[in-house]
Structure 1
């Protein structure tokens, strides 16, 4: 969908289809997050009317394509909770169309007649353009429509659109737009508890999940316990399975089991498998969602998969080749192909011809010391985890290994406190003598 621009007036009433082509409902509206600066607002998702007329929210990450005949969704779960608009959200159809604004270059008054959204390279959608009609005198002819950049129109900031005063919490939320989750987590961690809960309640599920993944363990548990059970389960579904498993492992067994039951089966299944392993083993460290291809896939297909902005650099460094099924645990594991090798091969060739079948693999029970030696010995940032029956279970990435080697409170320490930027110390001095906290049983 890169480069696709969609004017939202065309989306009203458009059918919405599931990944198998089944009818879900129709588009009621599009939700965007207001910002305090002049950067384009981020599109959060669409409001879909179910056949029962119940409106639900579908995140933009679940949108596979937008076509004239309808909107197709990717596979995965969507919360069926009734949509409720938050204060710093704007409905593009219901609130923005027809709003009055000012054109920056002419200072003339105008009316918004349409809004264009488009995806960025990171798969976020933003409000890129606005179509306005300049307001003329009563007797003047109808003026033509102009398509302008969001920053060329004034009067669309949160206070003017909502007609209310923006609170300190809302200003903080607006400032989160455009910053990395790790930076937002640092800000949230330093807030008083009451303000922290206000921010968590106001963030959308995808954004809150990203932030929680970057928080220290105790803060993760604190925020999750603040949420009601239904939303806590939604947040866990939005998290990476390995991060969700790490967090659930720290909760009382009754609470973690209850949350797993509330999650959709296709989301809870990978998390349950991860919980079988100790936190300090390859099975406990791995993600169950690496890039997996069958041997008849082409080099071009493999390169398209590793280009996905949803992948971390470590996961994008390697593809794994297996017999069907491709979902972990896969069919027979055949080997891996490094992305560097993919770049050297003709795009029409099959990945089967580039497979490295000799590279060692990790067993799910391999301990942290063995995993660390594996990465050091093979100069890797991603490694396969394979069971005794040759099924690929997942992949360990170097960032998860570092997370367990660094001091337990490394997220709370400054760079100087961890010795980064100071005179180099030996590796042994940086690695804690004791393992991290309890973790998985």
Structure 2
């Protein structure tokens, strides 16, 4: 059973198990990042594995916390843990800090921290267990204890001190990735690099996906190889492939070797396709199910919080295996159609018989015409054996068709109406990957 609230002191020392029930280590600390006016967000745990080595376990890879154990989704990355800028270790750094109580009753010392699940895969600091100072002349050895929420305390800061990158990141906590990317582009280059260093891996990955390619490369070149590989692991495979293709062959290969094997395999697969083809535009992580899956099961997969809206618009049905490249592609079921049928209806009976997949070698122009002609937000991509290898979504096509500087274009600026241009392969500007790496 998974707990929704747990104290860090009680969590420390808990065993960590993989899905097969094998013990992989013990929790040694909880890692959080500060947010502006909100309780700090939990990003993961520091786990001790055999050999007394400390590694990082992302909170996104945790499926259950409770009964003195932590269950993960799979293998743990055994690269040695290195604390990132902006990350705070609860046991090592937060406990023992003195804080000022917002009710004006004085100071207190943090003795324990409770973390709470606020959504699927999302945890934050829920309460602080604090102790007041011992009253003068009191016969008791310690002061009274209280429970307070994060908003009910404040930490001491030096008046006139320049805002640190950590504080700046906290002030950006509520921004959507695209807005944060724009805010960072307005900073000086050095300040932008400092903020990038302070962001968590998953947050930086989201931001890089919203930036022009030149800034993506500049920021990644400022990161050491281990950190850069961690960030690439968090990016969508097609975005990671585009970025790696703009690095030198030597560094691109080095980062691929450091990435999680499954993520690196997807990226290498995408790098094999030309950038102006369906294979070069597609993502390899659509929702894939069997024909026997039910409407209820399909809707549950669509509800996943990390799923992009365009990928949630339809479900792909194939023969086994159910990871790209799959077994033979059978068809797609649109989200809207699922809503019209009972929960126990099999998805194999709801396939869109009018939608034909495109081959991986199909041109970007052909994919664009199909999306526009049939009012689709995604189109399936198959190989020569009719196996599903991915889907191209409308946002991938728009990003490809728009000019290179579209992210920095001022929307309020008056621009002349462009002359109509027929959609042909030669008229589409080539963006994304330049050419596949010869060694991939």
Going from structure 1 to structure 2, the CA distance change for 1:236 and 1:89 (only over 3 Å counts) comes to closer
1:252-280 Cα offsets, whole Å, 9 max, x none, are 33332232223232111111111111112
Say yes or no: does 1:338 pair with 2:337: no
**Alignment root-mean-square deviation, CA:** 3.0
Shift of 1:143: 7.6
Structure 1 runs of 4+ with >6 Å offset: 140-144, 423-427, 429-432
Correspondent of 1:383 among 379, 385, 403: 379
Indicate the larger mover: 299-308 or 13-22: 13-22
Say yes or no: does 1:286 pair with 2:282: yes
Q: TM-score, normalised by structure 2?
A: 0.88
CA contact (8 A) 1:114 1:132 kept: yes
Return the alpha-carbon distance in structure 2 between the equivalents of residues 124 and 264 of structure 1.
Answer: 22
Q: Tell me the equivalent position of 2:34.
A: 34
CA contact (8 A) 2:400 2:431 kept: no
Shift of 1:54: 1.9
Shift of 1:229: 2.4
Correspondent of 2:430 among 415, 419, 436: 436
Shift of 1:84: 2.8
Shift of 1:148: 3.3
Q: Tell me the equivalent position of 2:438.
A: none
Going from structure 1 to structure 2, the CA distance change for 1:359 and 1:2 (only over 3 Å counts) comes to farther
Return the alpha-carbon distance in structure 1 between the equivalents of residues 330 and 369 of structure 2.
Answer: 23
Return the alpha-carbon distance in structure 2 between the equivalents of residues 425 and 104 of structure 1.
Answer: 57
1:368-387 Cα offsets, whole Å, 9 max, x none, are 11111111111111221122
The runs of 5 or more residues in structure 2 that have no matched partner are: 436-440
Say yes or no: does 1:222 pair with 2:221: no
The runs of 5 or more residues in structure 1 that have no matched partner are: none
Q: Tell me the equivalent position of 1:126.
A: 124
Say yes or no: does 1:315 pair with 2:314: no
1:310-338 Cα offsets, whole Å, 9 max, x none, are 01111111111111111100111111111
Q: Tell me the equivalent position of 1:63.
A: 62
Return the alpha-carbon distance in structure 1 between the equivalents of residues 335 and 144 of structure 2.
Answer: 50
Return the alpha-carbon distance in structure 2 between the equivalents of residues 102 and 255 of structure 1.
Answer: 48
CA contact (8 A) 2:165 2:198 kept: no
Going from structure 1 to structure 2, the CA distance change for 1:427 and 1:107 (only over 3 Å counts) comes to farther
Say yes or no: does 1:10 pair with 2:4: no
Which residues of 2 match residues 298-313 of structure 1 at below 5 A? 298-313=294-309
Q: Tell me the equivalent position of 1:411.
A: 407
Shift of 1:220: 1.1
Say yes or no: does 1:115 pair with 2:113: yes
Shift of 1:306: 0.4
CA contact (8 A) 1:32 1:44 kept: yes
Q: Tell me the equivalent position of 2:52.
A: 53
Indicate the larger mover: 181-190 or 370-379: 181-190
Q: TM-score, normalised by structure 1?
A: 0.88
Indicate the larger mover: 110-119 or 237-246: 110-119
Q: Tell me the equivalent position of 1:151.
A: 151
1:237-294 Cα offsets, whole Å, 9 max, x none, are 2211000111122223333223222323211111111111111211111100011111
Indicate the larger mover: 281-290 or 189-198: 189-198
Q: Tell me the equivalent position of 2:367.
A: 371
Return the alpha-carbon distance in structure 2 between the equivalents of residues 352 and 143 of structure 1.
Answer: 66
Return the alpha-carbon distance in structure 1 between the equivalents of residues 225 and 406 of structure 2.
Answer: 29
Return the alpha-carbon distance in structure 2 between the equivalents of residues 85 and 440 of structure 1.
Answer: 32
Going from structure 1 to structure 2, the CA distance change for 1:427 and 1:174 (only over 3 Å counts) comes to farther
Shift of 1:217: 0.7
The SS at the match of 1:344 is: coil
